[in-house]
Structure 1
């Protein structure tokens, strides 16, 4: 079931700015028994992107009421919240555009995710490189063509996902998740100032890891630094944390720090 501004719907207008230009942003949330996890952090990330795009913020109390209409009562499930600038306007100009459109969809918890969190997954290394766009880096805006190309490349190799570098050959993320790795009990994750998406779960992990006394470094790293790690894991809001057991034929152990981070975010 899909919802548009609180009403059941199965389509949007051809003049919607998201369809025409990718003009909007979205976030994907985990629900547990009907309760949205980290809702306030999802609002923060949406507000930051909306402000960057000069799109008016919605009434979040109203949006939360709409979400309750769509949420599944399963033990675990997903919700996608998508905001478009609205309908109308001529060309790129955002003038003469109606009020923002809020679309919501619910989906079952992906069947593979439970297995991935326990046994880990294999990553390839994508040839597709992310361009630099500091104006929009970190935000989950509605134009995700680079990620589509990465995922298509991984599909051709029969891999679930892959490590993605930027045009400066620095490690950034995967097509669907943020990347972390561990060396000598220190946690590393890429700087996303020029490319990539700063996920809600990434923020949760960094906050909880630091609160637990782990040293965390955000920086610019190359592939050899990732491949020399002792542990690697990925994260997103629905998946949580999944260990990586292989990157392009290089094996990795599912280590104690990865397991500790999983315990922390699931508690």
Structure 2
């Protein structure tokens, strides 16, 4: 199901800039019993992306109403809110573009996520690396070709998710999730200054750790740092948190922090 500027429809004009240039940004949210957990943070991340990408203001109040309307259609599911710069401009120029276009879609919840939460997931280091770009780091812009290639390579192997590095060999994230690991009472997650997506569930988990007695550090390290971890897990708004049972040939059995966090996520 799709809504464009609040109207049920599923077609954009061929002049829309998100089609030509990926000129836009989005967030993907979980729907639980007709509600959207962390909705305020989803809207915050969209506003941040709009500022970073020099968009004209979009109608955030209207988008919030449209997201809640889509969530209320019934049951659990997945909601995606995408903002396009719309049509206008000549070539890459944004001069003359009209108001941003709001696109909301609703789809079923992934059927395999409950199994992932119970059994854990296996990661494989991806041969595809993320380019460094501080202007785009953190936001979920519509240019996802790197992730498409990461997923295409991953589907050739017996693994559930990818361990993704940047062009300098620094651990950043997974194909569709953020990454955490624990060593004793210290928890680590990749710093996202140069690449990657700062997910809302990543933010939520980071906000919980101190109260649970853990110290958190955002780090720039290579994949070898995970070899000495006691525990590894991944997060995104839909999962929302899943234990990692293996990265390539390295296995992890400890779920201490995962079991503390899961009821809070």
Distance 1:4 1:234 in 2: 32
Answer with 60-69 or 40-49: which moved more. Answer: 60-69
TM-score (structure 2 length as normaliser): 0.97
| Partner of residue 74, structure 2 | 73
The count of aligned residue pairs is: 264
The answer on 1:14 being equivalent to 2:14 is yes
Q: Which runs of at least 4 in structure 1 moved beyond 6 Å after TM superposition?
A: none
Q: Gaps spanning 5+ residues in structure 1: where?
A: none
Q: Which secondary structure does the structure 2 equivalent of 1:87 belong to?
A: coil
> When you count strand as a share of all residues, which structure comes out higher?
1
CA displacement at 1:58 relative to structure 2: 2.0
- Per-residue displacement from partner, 1:31-50 (whole Å, max 9, x unpaired)? 11111110110111111110
Q: After superposition, where does 1:1-267 map in structure 2 within 5 Å?
A: 1-71=1-71, 72-74=73-75, 76-265=76-265
Whether contact under 8 Å (1:32, 1:73) holds in the other structure is no
Q: Which secondary structure does the structure 2 equivalent of 1:259 belong to?
A: helix
CA displacement at 1:99 relative to structure 2: 1.1
Q: CA RMSD in A?
A: 1.1
Q: Which secondary structure does the structure 2 equivalent of 1:209 belong to?
A: helix
Distance 2:69 2:220 in 1: 42
Distance 2:242 2:43 in 1: 24
- Per-residue displacement from partner, 1:10-40 (whole Å, max 9, x unpaired)? 2111111111111110000011111111011
Q: Gaps spanning 5+ residues in structure 2: where?
A: none
CA displacement at 1:57 relative to structure 2: 2.8
TM-score (structure 1 length as normaliser): 0.96
Q: Which secondary structure does the structure 2 equivalent of 1:201 belong to?
A: helix
Distance 1:66 1:41 in 2: 16
Whether contact under 8 Å (2:233, 2:243) holds in the other structure is yes
- Per-residue displacement from partner, 1:131-154 (whole Å, max 9, x unpaired)? 110111011011011111101100
